Structure 1
Amino acid sequence: MASAVLDAPATTKVDQLDRIRLELATLNQISDNEKQGFLKLIGRYLSGKSEAIQWENIKAPTDEVVVPYDKLADFSDDPVKIKSLLDKLAVLKLNGGLGTTMGCTGPKSVIEVRNGLTFLDLIVKQIENLNHTYNANVPLVLMNSFNTHEDTLQIVERYADSKLEVITFNQSQYPRVVAEDMVPWPAKGKTDNAGWYPPGHGDVFPSLANTGKLDELIAQGKEYVFIANSDNLGAIVDLKILNHLVENQNEYCMEVTPKTLADVKGGTLISYEDRVQLLEIAQVPDEHVNEFKSIDKFKIFNTNNMWVNLKAIKRLVEADALQMEIIPNPKEVDGVKVLQLETAAGAAIRFFDRAIGVNVPRSRFLPVKATSDLLLVQSDLYTVQNGAVVRNRARTIPQNPSIELSGEFKKVGDFLKRFKSIPSIIELDSLKVSGDVWFGENIVLKGKVIVEAAKGEKLVLPDDATIEDKVVKE
């Protein structure tokens, strides 16, 4: 990814890095491994080197590179075979995010999704069911950040009596740098949490190794780790994918799914210089952005569900070979312009041998990023079976309804109190709600529905109402 290096006329980039190294040495909040990782990252950034994508060299991946899900070989449902597969697997959930965008404090994974169950509760139930059904031992691994670590430790205590091994570790903690001079902010006295950041989920690979958890999993006989965001309710263990990877010795697999108009900015897989590679919109030359967004040319996007061989991770981390593209993320925090440098786990695909994508059904991508997503998964559109959120077959339309809720619904607490019960949306195409709107019980929504409360007015939809293809106003 091209990254614009901030000008530093008074010093060379080498001098700048030496100064950062000295400032970093004064900070005792982080480990030597974290300091070295940060120095490598910022050193690469300051060098200004980038591997610009040559657009004319991009090729569409073949079915051998991005395997259609329905082309994966069926395999025996013999419980002994399934147990042997599961015993090679660990499930890792990226658990470093907070629920602040939805008005919650603490880890996002503890937001209640359905029937009082949180994301984490559902994940635990899924893996417990697998282990119980097949007498397997799939551990749940949680990668926390310094923002979520303490809360998560308390939360996992509730699973102490479950037949499930829960392993936790922290990803790296890096200092934000002040944009004007590239000095680590904590070295200027900003030592509270605002001075630090977790450097993206690409950090999962070195952090697994640095914390000893990678060696621990390998010692247990684990061969693959399934990595996914904790808020993606569709990211459940899939034995067909795991079997394919084991049979074909693929070191890395990225799950992709067909792109819709809502996904045009999502990263996609390409064949580039005889390797499979993730292409992100930030890497695309300006003159080709519209082409990148086309769902005709680039038909798939990255779900951030990944399957990775553990020994391959160890080999590449020890060789310092995972040089993923740097994502510069400028922010303003407490009135100060700062920069944080991040990497994404999907970008690592090009460093692994026999890496592939699998074009999976859309059902494996069900993220909850906002209360509009929460409305979908709390509705009769889904049920929960053994911790898995399963789509109601009564919905005959492949796509989910599009939901747009105004700011009054943004926070989970406000969202919940505005519904006596979640409406039936099996036959809904789209819903747009704006203003001070309140929903009664047992409401049924069908077709295209718009509900608008006039400014300063409260609009209450009555119990037992059926609203179909209507605009409802105060």
Structure 2
Amino acid sequence: MATATLSPADTEKLSKLKSAVAGLSQISENEKSGFINLVARYLSGEAEHVEWSKIQTPTDEVVVPYESLAPAPNGSSEIKNLLDKLVVLKLNGGLGTTMGCTGPKSVIEVRDGLTFLDLIVIQIENLNNKYGSSVPLLLMNSFNTHDDTLKIVEKYKNSNIEIHTFNQSQYPRVVIDDFLPLPSKGQTGRDGWYPPGHGDVFPSLSNSGKLDTLLSQGKEYVFVANSDNLGAIVDLKILNHLIQNKNEYCMEVTPKTLADVKGGTLISYEGRVQLLEIAQVPNEHVNEFKSIEKFKIFNTNNLWVNLKAIKRLVEADALKMEIIPNPKEVDGVKVLQLETAAGAAIRFFDRAIGINVPRSRFLPVKATSDLLLVQSDLYTLEDAFVIRNKARINPANPSIELGPEFKKVSNFLSRFKSIPSIVNLDSLKVAGDVWFGAGVTLKGKVSVIAKPGVKLEIPDGAVLADKEINGPEDL
């Protein structure tokens, strides 16, 4: 990949930025140099242009079907040996703001009064108790979630699991007009800064000292996943496969449905496996990229990575993932934040593979419509695992669209006396001033759209099958 040189104007821009950043006392020297490196790469226009004609569909050697994996060993001492090589790392930098919550998203209650974090801790604790292993949990926080997470983690101090927290980098937002850091212009509050995406997990793991600690404890692999993906549980078959085949990196992918057409996909490119994101696709090929015929899989962001390989690549400064420019506005000032994604690192690791996993390993909760799915009878909770109800015949989940009245968790919960039964639901659309009674059953295609100014209450015990409701007269 050719790195372009900077123009004289950009060189001057970078030099002014550098001296302004040097004066920021809130961040470490590592953060300053990481940030300047990222900006220098961005200014040099070091874009990864994908030549469409060179893209190849990965073979089963590159994207391994989950069914073809050898079974994991079943003796408890062999399982303990496997687990003792593992670390679980959850990306915990996100706030629950999109769902109207303050604080880390991982403390939203998912089911039976348990939060994402409770479920994660119980799952790992059960493994450690069952096999006598010592799988630690690492939480990568951002400066937004750090303080709250430390308080929350207190409640697990008597559990059979070592919990470590560390922070991802804190970078200054850059003012687009003059390319200077926002904090050096008096915006010293949180709005002046941003966490640079989860691609930062590798340098931050190293800078925090956690990577060396884990290596000294004989740990070999880290399983990285979003804290809001309820399907991202430890899988011994995958871990066993990676150890046997010396794969330094594995991305779990799963078959695309029409809901996932924008998700990144794995391709073979110039002899290596790499992630192709929609932002890298030339305009004339975007529809082809979204087709589920040609690109059948997408990235779940469940990643398994060899710890020694992370150390080697971070120390060589070799992880130059594609830069994602993210323009924002703070108090009317247009700013830019540059981010990277952990999945894009796949092409730098040796013997990197994808594994095409069952859809059950991808169960993210991004909005209240997802919360409705996991709180309903479509799932049960067994040993802190969210398991799909076998009574559901359709392999796909129902599509659910909830109006803005349901966007915040508190409003969502107050509008349902109890979560309806949706085992036989295909699709649900709800908008307007709608309230659900207890014990409601929804089947087939249901649409409940209240007319403006009308309060629509679905009575207790109602069964709505293939119905369209706009007012009380339709009930």
Name the TM-score, length of structure 2 as normaliser.
Answer: 0.98
- Residue 66 of structure 2: aligned partner: 69
Q: Is the 8 A contact 1:92 1:141 kept in 2?
A: yes
Distance 1:356 1:463 in 2: 50
- Within 5 Å, which residues of 2 pair with 1:102-251? 102-251=99-248
336, 343, 350: which is aligned to 1:346? 343
Misfit runs of 4+, over 3 Å = none
Secondary structure of 2:443's partner?
strand
- Residue 269 of structure 2: aligned partner: 272
Deviation at 1:49, TM superposition (A): 2.2
2:463 counterpart letter in structure 1: T
Q: Does 2:425 correspond to 1:428?
A: yes
Q: Is the 8 A contact 1:144 1:171 kept in 2?
A: yes
Cα deviation code 1:91-143 (max 9, x no counterpart):
00000000000000000000000011000000001100111111110000000
- Residue 461 of structure 2: aligned partner: 464
Secondary structure of 2:354's partner?
strand
Distance 1:155 1:462 in 2: 38
Distance 1:149 1:49 in 2: 33
Q: Does 2:84 correspond to 1:84?
A: no
Q: State the aligned residue count.
A: 471
37, 55, 58: which is aligned to 1:58? 55
Q: Does 2:332 correspond to 1:332?
A: no
Secondary structure of 2:73's partner?
coil
Q: Does 2:313 correspond to 1:316?
A: yes
2:417 counterpart letter in structure 1: K
Secondary structure of 1:12's partner?
helix
Cα deviation code 1:320-362 (max 9, x no counterpart):
0000000000011111100000000000000000000000000
Q: Is the 8 A contact 1:2 1:52 kept in 2?
A: no
2:183 counterpart letter in structure 1: P
1:274 counterpart letter in structure 2: G
Unmatched tracts of structure 1, length 5 or more: none
Q: Does 2:278 correspond to 1:281?
A: yes
Q: CA separation of 1:2/1:177 partners in 2, compared to 1, >3 Å: closer, same or farther? A: farther
Cα deviation code 1:13-40 (max 9, x no counterpart):
1111111110011100000000000010
Name the TM-score, length of structure 1 as normaliser.
Answer: 0.98
Secondary structure of 2:365's partner?
coil
Secondary structure of 1:146's partner?
coil
Secondary structure of 1:181's partner?
coil
Q: Does 2:362 correspond to 1:370?
A: no
Secondary structure of 1:389's partner?
strand
Cα deviation code 1:400-456 (max 9, x no counterpart):
111000000000000000011000000001110010000000011111111111101
Q: Is the 8 A contact 1:255 1:302 kept in 2?
A: yes
Distance 1:2 1:470 in 2: 58
294, 297, 301: which is aligned to 2:298? 301
Deviation at 1:209, TM superposition (A): 0.2
Distance 1:179 1:249 in 2: 44
1:367 counterpart letter in structure 2: P
Distance 2:177 2:300 in 1: 36
Cα deviation code 1:220-273 (max 9, x no counterpart):
111000000000000000110000000000000000000011111100000001
Deviation at 1:46, TM superposition (A): 0.8
1:194 counterpart letter in structure 2: D
Pairwise CA RMSD: 1.6
1:438 counterpart letter in structure 2: W
Unmatched tracts of structure 2, length 5 or more: none
Residue identity over aligned pairs, in percent, reads: 73
Distance 1:457 1:239 in 2: 53
Distance 1:333 1:40 in 2: 24
Deviation at 1:2, TM superposition (A): 13
Distance 2:450 2:48 in 1: 51
